[in-house]
Amino acid sequence: GAGVSQSPRYKVTKRGQDVALRCDPISGHVSLYWYRQALGQGPEFLTYFNYEAQQDKSGLPNDRFSAERPEGSISTLTIQRTEQRDSAMYRCASSGDTGEQYFGPGTRLTVT
Amino acid sequence: KQEVTQIPAALSVPEGENLVLNCSFTDSAIYNLQWFRQDPGKGLTSLLLIQSSQREQTSGRLNASLDKSSGRSTLYIAASQPGDSATYLCAGRPLTGTASKLTFGTGTRLQVTL
């Protein structure tokens, strides 16, 4: 079946603009995760949903970052008033009963 | 705060060699562990998941083990091939707290030459 999909794949935005990144998990996966990956580093946890409930948002850097998953499927990560330091690869993952996490292709965000 | 170290950071081997990648956690209270492969400009591909009740897992030429007492894991790649060239990342889920978030190492960049 289809894997995790993310859109857009690339996003270039100007400093101060808001951006919304979308994640469509594997069908039937109840858990969804957002990570951020800097060049040459491993992904860092941002937030986690179980169904529509946001269980942990301890990795969100500040209050400009928010995420939602209103119907327990698709999730949106929103960054308000973007700054250059927000430039990174944003990755989404989902998992089912085994807990094995499957990652999407990521969204490369560049803030100019 | 959990920190994950992967050794070596980079490795170049000729085709056909067997090799071992190492991963260690500062906090050995790990629930389970995943190994991933990342190709340049691509996403992460899950290779192996070692569940809490397991000590090792095998898939084809790959074998991963986890020693929970020491917080160390190894990924063994047998008969390496040029197609194995990629960055390999290990990631662990904590035993407590948010038991689902993964903490990643910085990876081992592997190059297999002809």
DSSP 3-state assignment of B1? coil
Nearest to A68 by CA among A58, A78, A83, A82: A78
Residue entry with tokens 């500040």: A62
Q: Do A106 and B43 touch (CB under 8 A)?
A: yes
Cα A25 from Cα A46, distance rounded (Å)? 16
Q: For the segment A62-84, what is each residue's pLDDT rounded down to a tens digit?
A: 999 999 999 999 999 999 999 99
pLDDT, tens only, A2-57: 899 999 999 999 999 999 999 999 999 999 999 999 988 999 999 999 999 999 99
pLDDT of A16: 98
Give the residue ranges of chain B where pLDDT is below 50.
none
- d(C-alpha B114, C-alpha B106), whole Å: 26
Interface membership of B95 toward A (CB under 8 Å): no
Cβ neighbours of B42 in A, within 8 Å: 105
Mind listing the pLDDT tens digit for each residue in B4-33? Answer: 999 999 999 999 999 999 999 988 778 889
Nearest to A102 among B4, B46, B100 (CB): B46
- Judge: A42–B89 Cβ closer than 8 Å, yes or no: yes
Give contacts of B 34-63 with A, CB under 8 A: 34, 36, 42-46, 49, 51
Query: Between A42, A48, A99, which is nearest B104 by CB?
Result: A42
Enumerate the residues of chain B whose CB falls inside 8 A of the CB of residue A42.
4, 89, 91, 104-107
d(CA B31, CA A98): 12
Tell me what pLDDT residue A1 has. Answer: 55
Q: Which two tokens stand for residue B91?
A: 């990631």
Question: From the CA of B51, how many Å to the nearest CA of chain A?
Answer: 8
Sort out which chain A residues have CB atoms less than 8 A from B103's CB and list them.
45
Environment class of residue B87 by beta-carbon count within 10 Å: exposed (0-12), middle (13-18) or buried (19+)?
A: buried
The 3-state DSSP class for residue B71 equals coil
